Structure 1
Amino acid sequence: MIEWLIAMVIGVFLVGGGLSIFVVSRSTTEDSFDQSELQENGRVAMRLLTQDLKWAGFWGDYTGLPMTIGQGVALSAGSIIASASDCLDELGRGSLPSATGSMRPLWVVRVDNNKLIAGGAFACIPAASRMANTDVVSIKRLIGRPLADGVATGNRFYLATTTQTAQMFKGGEVVPSDAAMPARQLWEYQHFVYYLSPNTATGNPELRKRYLTANGGSLLIGGAMAEGIERLSVLFGVDDSLVPDGTIERYVATNNVTDQEWSEGRVIAARVFILVRSLRASTSYVNNNTYQVGTVSVQGNGDGFRRLLLESSVSLRNPAMILGGGA
């Protein structure tokens, strides 16, 4: 009986030790999985944004200023997008160049506490699909490499460029001839809109992306580009020198950049902040941290979600051509 009792006690200790190791191992595995998930989702989101930001305002070999109809830029008869299908800014300008002012190759606007955007901009994003206190990033540029004439037939807009002129046309339309535009090159034109939206099924925040089509206007790419992206904020680096020397004196939110600073090419960089949140709350973790996402402070508020704050700086391409920050 004594030996049996001793064996039972030893067995209890062994089982308890095994359970303790299992619990610790499970917690460690959960933590490692969450950290890996945070890093992967954040890496994907940051790479998508920074790659497009680097090429904002890239117009191939066209070096004319500004990107305005009648000033070196022309649109074909088919280069039209209905306002209801487009993503308009607060000035009523959409994805394509207009005759009323220079086009914004890069524009960032904040969604406020009530999920509203100043001037009613970006009505293409329903209010229910917006995340409060986060930025919407609009990027216009040419993508890929110069195309052969026979390729310019898809559901896209294309830009034929020389150093002094640019002609936009719809896929399937007659391509501008070499006689009309000597030594011209053909490119696909694109307008990307990045924003954060809650998943309709899980409620988890995710990075969404819209792109431009010739027949349907601005369309949402199916599925999330990256999951768990809770906040997105962009600050612009401004050169305040009397004579611009390419040195950043300060980073400011887009609303604090003046028209003159845009037009003088003083906005030379962008600093991107992304706050990534785990997709599931942990029962063994309490988050009381504060995260400074650009100009926005985000509190953990004691929830069980792990978070990771990422930051990256991007030099803007041809900053003197990014004229669109002002009116």
Structure 2
Amino acid sequence: MAERAQAHNLIGESAVFLEMLEHISLVAPLAKPVLVIGERGTGKELVAARLHYLSRRWDQPFLKLNCAAINENLLETELFGHEAGSFTGAAKRHLGRFELADGGSFFLDELANTSARVQEKLLRVIEYGEFERVGGNQSIKANVRLIAATNEDLPALAQQGRFRYDLLDRLAFDVITLPPLRVRPDDILKLAQHFAVAMTKELGRDYFAGFSKAAEQQLLDYSWPGNVRELKNVVERNVYRCAPDRMVSKMDFDPFTSPWRPRLTPPAAMTTGNSPAPSTSDGTALPLDFKQVTEQHEIGLIKRALQQGQFNQKKAAELLGLTYHQLRGYLKKYQLLKDEG
């Protein structure tokens, strides 16, 4: 029951989000494979759960597997199972996820991490509904609706020969692409309030005192590279650090911020001897502080765009290929708001 409730925990009212929900509702009843694509933290697993629980298979198994979390040698047995004695340590028969999910749905996350051999077997399951366990020769039937997810550009990987075109064709009966949080500004405060209230309950407090206007503006200005997952972490951390009866007045986005944070230093061997320090193709001497040089480069580009756009932030964002809210996040990050004029 908890998982079914989680499947409906997709919160938002922006146009792009509601369009995605409508897409999910349209494809959910079909017994066809679906490909879910989105950046990290956008909620691909929640979308997969919604697809399952809105389908006719809602009362059947819903299994999940993250391909990136399992060693490549073990992934095949986790997916398709193995027979006793098929390899060292295989003392007894092991049923794979496809066999266990028979009649239901199987969510396969980080699909781009699979090997060519696994992709070949996945193709057969989708096309013919059958497979063999590792070390076995008996075909096993499986009536499974596959929902696959990735944050990679699978068509580009297929062009590079790193992903099978025929598997991509079978998986992409329909593709649901999740909008990143930065294009859902109308949902940011709604999600933040939801996560804050939930964290308040978890802490055993009576009520959530709310966010100050300054804190709300910080939430809106930030670019959210980690999307909804990052928003949840940021809100929960700031709520628990705040006194129970106090409003959250300022947001702390980076938990690593500290004057005593250890920094990666270049190896001493690179700077010893009489040889000149190696340099990059643009003449920048190595070793260097990558973060500092990158930040200086980004600040320079932002200032140039602001000047060229006559300090109109929307024009500057267009010049940089960013959304307005992304640019605002960078201005806040680099404390450039005071320099706009």
TM-score, normalising length from structure 2?
0.22
Q: Which has the higher strand share?
A: 1
| TM-score, structure 1 normalization | 0.23
Structure 1 or 2: more helix by fraction: 2
